[in-house]
Protein backbone atom coordinates (compact mmCIF):
# COMPACT_ATOMS: atom_id res chain seq x y z
CA UNK A 1 0.00 0.00 0.00
CA UNK A 2 1.24 3.54 -0.41
CA UNK A 3 3.01 5.32 2.47
CA UNK A 4 0.15 7.70 3.13
CA UNK A 5 -2.43 4.93 3.46
CA UNK A 6 -0.09 2.90 5.68
CA UNK A 7 0.55 5.90 7.96
CA UNK A 8 -3.17 6.67 8.14
CA UNK A 9 -4.14 3.14 9.14
CA UNK A 10 -1.33 3.01 11.72
CA UNK A 11 -2.47 6.33 13.21
CA UNK A 12 -6.04 5.02 13.41
CA UNK A 13 -4.83 1.82 15.12
CA UNK A 14 -2.93 3.84 17.73
CA UNK A 15 -6.08 5.78 18.65
CA UNK A 16 -8.33 2.73 18.94
CA UNK A 17 -9.85 2.54 22.43
CA UNK A 18 -9.64 -1.19 23.09
CA UNK A 19 -11.63 -0.95 26.35
CA UNK A 20 -14.58 1.18 25.26
CA UNK A 21 -17.55 -0.37 23.50
CA UNK A 22 -21.28 -0.30 22.85
CA UNK A 23 -23.75 -3.16 22.99
CA UNK A 24 -26.98 -2.76 21.01
CA UNK A 25 -29.77 -4.83 22.48
CA UNK A 26 -32.03 -5.75 19.54
CA UNK A 27 -31.60 -2.35 17.88
CA UNK A 28 -33.13 -3.41 14.60
CA UNK A 29 -33.40 -0.51 12.16
CA UNK A 30 -30.47 -0.74 9.75
CA UNK A 31 -29.91 3.03 9.63
CA UNK A 32 -29.66 3.16 13.44
CA UNK A 33 -27.24 0.23 13.60
CA UNK A 34 -25.10 1.85 10.90
CA UNK A 35 -25.16 5.25 12.58
CA UNK A 36 -24.01 3.70 15.88
CA UNK A 37 -21.17 1.93 14.06
CA UNK A 38 -20.17 5.15 12.32
CA UNK A 39 -20.00 7.05 15.62
CA UNK A 40 -18.11 4.18 17.21
CA UNK A 41 -15.47 4.43 14.48
CA UNK A 42 -15.30 8.21 14.93
CA UNK A 43 -14.45 7.96 18.63
CA UNK A 44 -11.99 5.13 18.04
CA UNK A 45 -14.02 2.08 19.03
CA UNK A 46 -12.79 -1.02 17.35
CA UNK A 47 -15.43 -3.58 18.36
CA UNK A 48 -19.14 -3.19 19.04
CA UNK A 49 -21.58 -5.81 20.26
CA UNK A 50 -25.11 -6.60 19.20
CA UNK A 51 -27.68 -8.91 20.68
CA UNK A 52 -29.20 -10.35 17.59
CA UNK A 53 -30.88 -13.74 17.25
CA UNK A 54 -29.42 -14.45 13.81
CA UNK A 55 -25.73 -14.11 12.93
CA UNK A 56 -26.19 -11.60 10.12
CA UNK A 57 -26.91 -8.04 11.10
CA UNK A 58 -28.36 -5.71 8.57
CA UNK A 59 -26.65 -2.37 8.32
CA UNK A 60 -27.16 0.40 5.84
CA UNK A 61 -24.04 1.25 3.86
CA UNK A 62 -24.91 4.92 3.29
CA UNK A 63 -25.30 5.63 7.01
CA UNK A 64 -22.08 3.86 7.92
CA UNK A 65 -19.89 5.60 5.30
CA UNK A 66 -17.49 2.68 5.11
CA UNK A 67 -17.04 2.43 8.89
CA UNK A 68 -18.40 -1.15 8.81
CA UNK A 69 -15.08 -2.42 7.56
CA UNK A 70 -13.13 -0.77 10.38
CA UNK A 71 -15.41 -1.64 13.29
CA UNK A 72 -15.89 -5.29 14.16
CA UNK A 73 -19.46 -6.27 15.08
CA UNK A 74 -19.71 -9.19 17.48
CA UNK A 75 -23.21 -10.66 17.68
CA UNK A 76 -24.62 -12.55 20.65
CA UNK A 77 -27.79 -14.65 20.81
CA UNK A 78 -28.82 -13.29 24.21
CA UNK A 79 -28.08 -10.30 26.44
CA UNK A 80 -26.81 -12.77 29.05
CA UNK A 81 -24.10 -14.01 26.64
CA UNK A 82 -23.13 -10.47 25.73
CA UNK A 83 -22.81 -9.22 29.31
CA UNK A 84 -20.91 -12.33 30.38
CA UNK A 85 -18.28 -11.65 27.72
CA UNK A 86 -18.09 -7.94 28.55
CA UNK A 87 -17.64 -8.65 32.25
CA UNK A 88 -14.89 -11.15 31.42
CA UNK A 89 -13.18 -8.16 29.80
CA UNK A 90 -13.60 -6.30 33.14
CA UNK A 91 -15.95 -3.69 31.63
CA UNK A 92 -18.36 -1.62 33.70
CA UNK A 93 -21.69 -2.23 31.98
CA UNK A 94 -23.91 0.86 31.81
CA UNK A 95 -27.54 0.51 30.77
CA UNK A 96 -29.14 3.56 29.19
CA UNK A 97 -32.53 3.91 30.81
CA UNK A 98 -35.16 6.60 31.07
CA UNK A 99 -35.91 6.34 34.78
CA UNK A 100 -35.70 8.48 37.89
CA UNK A 101 -33.09 6.28 39.52
CA UNK A 102 -30.67 6.45 36.56
CA UNK A 103 -27.67 8.77 36.98
CA UNK A 104 -26.85 11.63 34.62
CA UNK A 105 -24.52 10.16 31.96
CA UNK A 106 -21.98 12.95 32.58
CA UNK A 107 -21.37 11.73 36.13
CA UNK A 108 -19.74 8.49 34.96
CA UNK A 109 -15.97 7.88 34.76
CA UNK A 110 -15.48 6.65 31.18
CA UNK A 111 -11.74 6.29 31.55
CA UNK A 112 -12.58 2.90 33.11
CA UNK A 113 -13.16 -0.04 30.74
CA UNK A 114 -16.75 0.63 29.72
CA UNK A 115 -19.62 -0.83 27.72
CA UNK A 116 -22.75 1.20 27.05
CA UNK A 117 -25.93 -0.80 26.53
CA UNK A 118 -28.36 0.76 24.06
CA UNK A 119 -31.97 -0.40 23.90
CA UNK A 120 -34.39 -1.25 21.15
CA UNK A 121 -36.02 1.64 19.28
CA UNK A 122 -39.53 1.07 20.57
CA UNK A 123 -39.32 -0.97 23.72
CA UNK A 124 -35.95 0.19 25.11
CA UNK A 125 -33.67 -1.86 27.35
CA UNK A 126 -35.08 -5.16 28.65
CA UNK A 127 -35.57 -5.94 32.32
CA UNK A 128 -32.95 -8.68 31.96
CA UNK A 129 -30.36 -6.21 30.67
CA UNK A 130 -31.15 -3.80 33.51
CA UNK A 131 -30.67 -6.55 36.06
CA UNK A 132 -27.29 -7.50 34.55
CA UNK A 133 -25.95 -3.94 34.23
CA UNK A 134 -23.77 -2.29 36.88
CA UNK A 135 -25.45 1.12 36.61
CA UNK A 136 -28.25 2.90 34.82
CA UNK A 137 -27.54 6.16 33.02
CA UNK A 138 -29.80 8.77 31.47
CA UNK A 139 -29.43 11.80 29.22
CA UNK A 140 -31.57 14.53 30.80
CA UNK A 141 -34.67 15.43 28.79
CA UNK A 142 -36.38 18.81 29.21
CA UNK A 143 -38.76 18.86 26.27
CA UNK A 144 -42.04 17.25 25.34
CA UNK A 145 -40.71 14.03 23.79
CA UNK A 146 -39.84 11.19 26.11
CA UNK A 147 -36.63 9.94 24.46
CA UNK A 148 -33.94 10.55 21.85
CA UNK A 149 -33.25 8.46 18.77
CA UNK A 150 -31.01 5.56 19.86
CA UNK A 151 -28.10 6.53 17.61
CA UNK A 152 -28.26 10.15 18.78
CA UNK A 153 -28.28 9.06 22.44
CA UNK A 154 -25.34 6.77 21.75
CA UNK A 155 -23.36 9.56 20.06
CA UNK A 156 -23.86 11.94 22.99
CA UNK A 157 -22.62 9.38 25.51
CA UNK A 158 -19.69 8.24 23.35
CA UNK A 159 -18.52 11.81 22.87
CA UNK A 160 -18.61 12.40 26.63
CA UNK A 161 -16.44 9.28 26.93
CA UNK A 162 -14.18 10.63 24.17
CA UNK A 163 -13.87 13.99 25.95
CA UNK A 164 -12.87 12.38 29.24
CA UNK A 165 -10.45 9.99 27.57
CA UNK A 166 -8.89 12.79 25.55
CA UNK A 167 -8.34 14.82 28.74
CA UNK A 168 -6.74 11.73 30.30
CA UNK A 169 -4.30 11.40 27.36
CA UNK A 170 -5.85 8.25 25.87
CA UNK A 171 -5.63 9.72 22.35
CA UNK A 172 -1.96 10.63 22.55
CA UNK A 173 -0.51 7.13 22.04
CA UNK A 174 1.69 6.42 19.04
CA UNK A 175 1.36 2.64 19.39
CA UNK A 176 -1.71 0.41 19.32
CA UNK A 177 -3.17 -1.49 22.26
CA UNK A 178 -5.05 -3.88 19.94
CA UNK A 179 -3.58 -7.33 19.76
CA UNK A 180 -1.12 -8.00 16.97
CA UNK A 181 -3.39 -10.33 14.95
CA UNK A 182 -6.13 -7.74 14.92
CA UNK A 183 -3.75 -4.99 13.80
CA UNK A 184 -2.49 -7.25 11.02
CA UNK A 185 -6.05 -8.05 9.91
CA UNK A 186 -6.97 -4.38 9.71
CA UNK A 187 -3.75 -3.50 7.88
CA UNK A 188 -4.33 -6.22 5.29
CA UNK A 189 -8.05 -5.64 4.79
CA UNK A 190 -7.63 -1.85 4.79
CA UNK A 191 -4.46 -1.70 2.74
CA UNK A 192 -5.18 -4.49 0.27
CA UNK A 193 -8.97 -4.89 0.05
CA UNK A 194 -8.94 -6.80 -3.25
CA UNK A 195 -6.31 -9.29 -2.05
CA UNK A 196 -8.18 -9.68 1.22
CA UNK A 197 -11.39 -10.51 -0.62
CA UNK A 198 -9.67 -13.12 -2.78
CA UNK A 199 -7.83 -14.64 0.19
CA UNK A 200 -11.15 -14.92 2.05
CA UNK A 201 -12.86 -16.55 -0.96
CA UNK A 202 -10.04 -19.07 -1.28
CA UNK A 203 -9.90 -19.72 2.45
CA UNK A 204 -6.26 -18.63 2.57
CA UNK A 205 -4.75 -17.25 5.79
CA UNK A 206 -3.93 -13.56 5.72
CA UNK A 207 -0.22 -12.86 5.25
CA UNK A 208 1.69 -10.46 7.52
CA UNK A 209 2.17 -6.84 6.58
CA UNK A 210 5.78 -5.83 7.13
CA UNK A 211 7.15 -2.60 8.62
CA UNK A 212 7.16 -1.00 5.16
CA UNK A 213 3.46 -1.72 4.65
CA UNK A 214 4.08 -4.51 2.14
CA UNK A 215 2.55 -7.98 1.94
CA UNK A 216 5.05 -10.44 3.35
CA UNK A 217 3.96 -13.77 1.83
CA UNK A 218 5.88 -16.73 0.45
CA UNK A 219 5.68 -17.69 -3.27
CA UNK A 220 3.26 -20.56 -2.62
CA UNK A 221 0.73 -18.12 -1.11
CA UNK A 222 0.96 -15.89 -4.19
CA UNK A 223 0.67 -18.93 -6.48
CA UNK A 224 -2.52 -20.08 -4.75
CA UNK A 225 -3.91 -16.55 -4.92
CA UNK A 226 -3.31 -16.48 -8.68
CA UNK A 227 -4.58 -19.99 -9.43
CA UNK A 228 -7.96 -20.18 -11.15
CA UNK A 229 -8.91 -23.31 -9.28
CA UNK A 230 -9.88 -25.01 -12.58
CA UNK A 231 -8.58 -28.50 -13.30
CA UNK A 232 -6.51 -28.78 -16.48
Q: Which residues bind ligand SAM (CB under 6 A)?
A: 96, 98, 118-119, 121, 124-125, 138-139, 141, 147-148, 150, 153
Contact 128, 12 (CB under 8 A): no
Q: Rank residues 102 and 217 by Cβ distance to ligand SAM and give the closer one.
A: 102
Tell me: is residue 96 an annotated ligand-binding position: yes
Q: Rank residues 5 and 29 by Cβ distance to ligand SAM and give the closer one.
A: 29
Tell me: is residue 111 an annotated ligand-binding position: no
Instruction: Annotate 1-24 with DSSP letters as a single string.
Output: --HHHHHHHHHHHHH-BTTEEEEE
Instruction: Report the SS3 class of residue 111.
Output: coil
Instruction: Report the nearest approach of ligand SAM to the CB of residue 62 (Å).
Output: 21
Instruction: Report the SS3 class of residue 91.
Output: coil
Instruction: Report the nearest approach of ligand SAM to the CB of residue 28 (Å).
Output: 11
**Which of 189, 150, 163 is closest to 68 using CA atoms?**
189
Q: Rank residues 75 and 184 by Cβ distance to ligand SAM and give the closer one.
A: 75
Instruction: Report the nearest approach of ligand SAM to the CB of residue 59 (Å).
Output: 17
Alpha-carbon distances of 146 from 122, 142, 158, 162, rounded to whole Å:
12, 9, 21, 26
Residue count of the chain, please give it: 232
Instruction: Report the nearest approach of ligand SAM to the CB of residue 55 (Å).
Output: 23
Rounded to whole angstroms, the Cα distance separating 198 from 120 reads: 36
Q: Rank residues 16 and 76 by Cβ distance to ligand SAM and give the closer one.
A: 76
**Which of 62, 154, 56, 147 is closest to 105 using CA atoms?**
154
Q: Rank residues 109 and 179 by Cβ distance to ligand SAM and give the closer one.
A: 109
Instruction: Report the nearest approach of ligand SAM to the CB of residue 92 (Å).
Output: 16
Tell me: is residue 137 an annotated ligand-binding position: no
Q: Which residues are annotated as a binding site?
A: 96, 139, 148
* Residues in binding site for S-adenosyl-L-methionine: 96, 139, 148
Amino acid sequence: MNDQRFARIQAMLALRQHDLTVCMEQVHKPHNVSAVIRTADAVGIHEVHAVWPSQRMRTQASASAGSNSWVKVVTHPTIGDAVKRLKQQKMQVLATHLSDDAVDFREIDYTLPTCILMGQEKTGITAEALALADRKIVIPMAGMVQSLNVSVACALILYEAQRQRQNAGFYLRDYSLLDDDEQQRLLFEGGFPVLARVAKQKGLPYPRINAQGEVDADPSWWATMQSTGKKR
